[in-house]
Structure 1
Amino acid sequence: MGCTSIKRLVNGYLASSLGVSTNNEEVTGIKGRNIPLYQGGYNQKILYISGVAMRISKSQNSPAMKIAEAIAGHLSQNSNSLFNVQVVSPGWIYVELMDSTLADWLHCFTVNRNENSDLEQFPLKEKITCDPHYQLTNSLTIFNIQYAYSRCFSLLRLAHQERLIELDITDVKIFLSAKAIPWLNSDQKLRLNHPDESFLIHQLVKVVDNLVCTDSGSSINWEKAGINLSQAFERFWSSCRIWGEVKIHSPELAQGRLGLLILTQLVLRSVLEDKLGIVAPVEL
């Protein structure tokens, strides 16, 4: 799986499933148009919901549920076990990420470029440009985003110094892991299952979607996106320990939590510098 947004990944698989046959007609009613797709609300799982079947039901002269079931069946069989797919009345398609898929996505953005050679551009693969017309409105909000970024940076630097994690520090503003992070446990389930870990991941996925997918990025309030992510980080940091007993007795969990800090500082830097056009300071 290449380094991209999860929304783009799901959209690509949905698009490839639109050619399935329904009533001996191909489902091509929205060919060339954007597939309706949005991230579901926070429920400790990464879920995407599409109403594509309902949109094309009339043009295909077929019930939305039947179209949705055909698309979902094709998607389940051809997505290499990346998703759990369900159909919900009156024709919604629910696409939930498997833990292994989310772990691969986290790995892709947190491990250095030598292991992750398909990262064509750093920090994000897709080209991201700052909007020259974007007007900053709240200096305290900006400070809080900058503080969260610098806090992630200092915590990662400390963890590296204490050899809790080995980091690639060749970039003065971004830390990446020099080795793979143990995102999954022995049962191949995501190791990070605390509600505040899950909420931070949910926010990270949402912001990366908005950074990468231009259809949604054009209307994003980036100050709000940045402060929401910063608050999710603060919530995570206040309840999910890395040092102390966790470091001693659960080093893999500590490394996973540090992995979230890696991705958080990467995404916050993109919001600050690429979208808001201001400095992402390593110290405040």
Structure 2
Amino acid sequence: MLLVSKYTAIKQLVHSYFIIALSIYTYYSKIETLADKKIPLSKGRNSNQVFYITGLALQLSKYEKIPAMEIAEAIASHLSANSAGVFSIQIVPPGWIHLELAHPVLAGWLQRLVEKRGDIVAQGHGGTEDKKDKEELVTVLFSSHSSHSSHSPSPQSPLPNHLFPIQYAHARCCSLVRLGEREGLITSEGAIPWLNKQQELRFHHPSELCLLSELVQVVDELECSDSSDSVKWQKLALGLSRVFDNFWRDCRIWGEVKVNSPEIALARLGLVMATQSVLRTLLEEKLGILAILEL
């Protein structure tokens, strides 16, 4: 079993298993040919589950003149033999292969995002900001200027009004995390209880599941796309910000939830930390804007 920690994006993990399955199913030269054309792989649109769809069998059937369903069955067999506990497999006519990620894999992936955020804080990028820089950032938040072409975060760069929701969502994440630390929910030693005793994610509310799905999608884009189009990254960041706002509106962390279900409260805070990590990456690495901690 390939370790989830080897890959930042879920799509990379799934792709790696297809490479292994193909190495068993086809000759090496065939893999070379397909590698040049890229394995067709897309994330399913159902936000209640994280799954991927490939038309690889349909593509292979054109080369081998074999029914796509027969090829899909063979690939699924190889995948099953080498991916126990990673995903479940479903074959859909006329030859689509659906892979649904196992909950422990998603939990491990979420933990990596949280740890990435912790590494940034430890390096000094998520701690107390220089007061002058913060004042300058707040001053320019409402400036009406065109979006950045630079990918180097600069406190002096004015932020377009339509990007304010991204900074607001990031600052909200930071505020919630600080409150979680003050309330004793978040500790340096404690792990996030993503899974229950049945090894299932604790997320059941549609807004929780939608945020998880959106995080997977955005990280896939961050790691698997080489696009420099700032409009694309703005759209992704704004979309994630909206989904996070829905999550924060619908899913409580404090009050009765914290008292009666502290594991759920902490798991939700884990989603907040993961969201902060991804928003910071979008702001600073793709939009060239320094991510601020509070407004």
TM-score range for the pair, normalised by the shorter chain length: 0.7 to 0.9
- Give the aligned residue type for 1:15: I
State the match for 1:170 in structure 2: none
Which residue of 247, 259, 273 corresponds with 1:236?
247
In the other structure, the counterpart of 1:103 is: 107
> Which residue of structure 1 lines up, in the alignment, with residue 219 of structure 2?
208
Tell me if 1:90 matches 2:94: yes
2:137 alignment counterpart: none
Residue deviations 1:207-265, cap 9 Å, x none? 100001135x4567111100110011100000100000010010000000000000000
- Give, in whole Å, the separation in 1 of the partners of 2:151 and 2:287: 10
- How far is the alpha carbon of 1:32 from its aligned partner? 3.9
Mapped to 1, the partners of 2:158 and 2:14 lie a distance apart of 34
Identity of aligned residues (%): 46
Letter in 2 for 1:63: P
Partner of 2:122: none
Alignment of 1:9-88 (within 5 A): 9-21=13-25, 28=31, 30-88=34-92
Q: CA RMSD in A?
A: 2.7
- Give the alignment's TM-score, normalised by structure 1: 0.83
- Tell me the distance in 2 between the aligned counterparts of 1:164 and 1:58: 55
Is 1:153 the counterpart of 2:189? The answer is no
Q: 1:192 aligns with which of 203, 207, 216?
A: 203
Tell me, yes or no, if the aligned pair for 1:196 and 1:239 is still in contact at 8 Å: yes
The CA deviation at 1:142 is 1.0
- The answer to whether residue 178 in structure 2 is matched with residue 162 in structure 1 is no
Structure 1 regions of 5+ residues with no counterpart? 117-121, 124-129, 168-177
**Cα gap change, 1:133/1:278 in structure 2, threshold over 3 Å: closer, same or farther?**
closer
The Cα of 1:80 is off from its aligned counterpart by 3.0
1:261 to 260, 272, 278: 272
> Which of the numbers 235, 247, 253 marks the counterpart of 2:258?
247
Distance 1:147 1:44, change over 3 A: same
The alignment covers a number of residue pairs equal to: 259
Distance 1:59 1:137 in 2: 53
What does the per-residue CA deviation read over 1:156-202, in whole Å, with 9 as the maximum and x for residues that have no partner? 001101111115xxxxxxxxxx4311101111111111110000001
- Where structure 2 has 5 or more consecutive residues not aligned to the other structure, the ranges are 120-124, 127-147
Change (3 A) 1:33 1:218: farther
**Partner amino acid for 1:277?**
G
Separation in structure 2 between the aligned mates of residue 53 and residue 163 of structure 1, nearest angstrom: 51
Cα 1:279/1:81, change in 2 over 3 Å? same
**How many Å separate the matches in 1 of 2:43 and 2:169?**
24
Moved over 3 A (4+): 24-29, 111-114, 130-134, 217-220
Within 1, Cα distance between the matches of 2:108 and 2:235?
28
Contact kept in structure 2, 1:207 and 1:225, CA below 8 Å? yes
Question: 1:218 and 1:93, CA in 2 relative to 1: closer, same or farther beyond 3 A?
Answer: farther
* In 2: Cα distance, 1:228 partner to 1:218 partner: 18
Cα distance in 2 between the residues matched to 1:161 and 1:44: 32
- Checking the alignment, whether the CA contact within 8 Å between 2:9 and 2:223 is kept in structure 1 is yes
Structure (1 or 2) with the larger CA radius of gyration: 2
The TM-score, its normalising length taken from structure 2, stands at 0.80
